[in-house]
């Protein structure tokens, strides 16, 4: 097993003291160390937002791109070199707001990657506006009278879109979170780990104590993660009790498994650079 410190980047996180994202970073480093994946074989891709700064703080290959667009870039990186461990990270605004179209289709595509969403139910980097997962009637800077829209349900959306590993963790339980991430990285297919990662500065509603009073672990109640209907039911449990853990897991052929050029093959990046036989293609046009 590798040491966690091997995955520590040279830049110190710029998150606020107490931010839930510290725990996410730590859990990810722990999961990678336990899985013993060499840092140079890890590819982290993110969008824009507080949590999307994560690639800067971890020792691996990183791609810090555009707001909402982490998943297409991660997909391209995986197709270019499917030997890499590809992990996309971001926040709820990034993944469930501006990038939600990509989220749905990447679930559907079942590319073998892990998507970690640090869900703080607020836009933190822009200092406190309502996000897609902000609960109804919550007052924020952009909703002084309370939000009007219904909150998006990431777990239910992932399940209905075809994700093959759907889990939820909490920054208040680091070890549990690391185990969920480990499972996600080991899983062959698109894995979502939605993380309650409280914003201590701008979300005064969904705080650590608020979550601690409500969360429970699915595995403590003998939840069967192979049962899709049950997973959907649990996805909608919210309020007095909120489930954490693995909602659903299924083995389904990945995009790469079904792509002739990648199936059993060398990563594209390792292919020979010699000119292929164009003449046989040209035959069709004579």
Which residues contribute to the site for other proteins (CB under 8 A)?
10-11, 38-41, 43, 45, 48, 53, 55-56, 59-66, 69, 71-81, 83-84, 101-102, 104-105, 259-262, 265, 268-269, 271, 273, 275-282, 285-286
- The minimum distance between CB 61 and other proteins, in angstroms, equals 4
Ramachandran class of 200: left when φ > 0, alpha when ψ lies in -120 to 50, beta otherwise: alpha
Backbone dihedral angles phi then psi of residue 140, each to the nearest 5 degrees: -135, 180
Output 209 or 260, the one with its CB closest to other proteins.
Answer: 260
Say if residues 184 and 193 touch (Cβ distance below 8 Å): yes
**Rounded CA separation 62/57 (Å):** 10
- The minimum distance between CB 113 and other proteins, in angstroms, equals 11
Say if residues 67 and 94 touch (Cβ distance below 8 Å): yes
Output 46 or 171, the one with its CB closest to other proteins.
Answer: 46
Structure tokens at 58: 């971890």
Output 147 or 160, the one with its CB closest to other proteins.
Answer: 160
Q: Which residues contact 213 (CB under 8 A, 6 or more apart)?
A: none
Say if residues 29 and 56 touch (Cβ distance below 8 Å): no
Say if residues 61 and 94 touch (Cβ distance below 8 Å): no
Output 180 or 192, the one with its CB closest to other proteins.
Answer: 192
- The minimum distance between CB 69 and other proteins, in angstroms, equals 5
Output 6 or 34, the one with its CB closest to other proteins.
Answer: 6
- The minimum distance between CB 2 and other proteins, in angstroms, equals 14
Structure tokens at 263: 């199936």
- The minimum distance between CB 29 and other proteins, in angstroms, equals 14
**For residue 2, which of 44, 43, 31, 42 has the smallest C-alpha distance?**
31
Output 175 or 268, the one with its CB closest to other proteins.
Answer: 268
- The minimum distance between CB 231 and other proteins, in angstroms, equals 24
Say if residues 157 and 235 touch (Cβ distance below 8 Å): no
């Amino acid at each position: 097993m590798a040491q966690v410190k091997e995955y520590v980047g040279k830049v110190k996180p710029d998150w606020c003291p107490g931010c839930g994202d510290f725990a996410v970073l730590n859990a990810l480093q722990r999961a990678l160390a336990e899985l013993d994946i060499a840092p140079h074989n890890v590819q982290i891709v993110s969008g824009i937002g507080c949590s999307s700064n994560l690639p800067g703080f971890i020792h691996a290959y990183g791609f810090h791109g555009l707001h909402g667009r982490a998943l297409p870039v991660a997909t391209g990186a995986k197709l270019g070199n499917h030997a890499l461990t590809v992990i996309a990270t971001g926040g709820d605004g990034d993944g469930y707001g501006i990038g939600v179209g990509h989220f749905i289709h990447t679930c559907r595509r079942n590319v073998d990657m892990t998507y970690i969403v640090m869900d703080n139910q607020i836009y933190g980097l822009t200092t406190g506006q309502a996000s897609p997962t902000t609960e109804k009637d919550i007052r924020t800077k952009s909703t002084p009278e309370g939000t009007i829209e219904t909150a998006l349900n990431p777990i239910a959306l992932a399940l209905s879109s075809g994700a093959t590993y759907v889990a939820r963790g909490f920054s208040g339980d680091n070890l549990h979170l690391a185990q969920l991430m480990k499972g996600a990285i080991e899983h062959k297919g698109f894995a979502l780990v939605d993380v309650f990662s409280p914003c201590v500065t701008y979300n005064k509603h969904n705080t650590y104590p608020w979550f601690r009073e409500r969360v429970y672990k699915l595995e403590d109640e003998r939840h069967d993660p192979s049962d899709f209907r049950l997973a959907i039911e649990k996805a909608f449990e919210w309020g007095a009790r909120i489930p954490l853990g693995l909602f659903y897991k299924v083995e389904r052929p990945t995009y790469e498994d079904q792509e002739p050029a990648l199936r059993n093959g060398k990563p594209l990046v390792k292919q020979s650079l010699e000119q292929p036989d164009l003449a046989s293609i040209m035959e069709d046009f004579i």
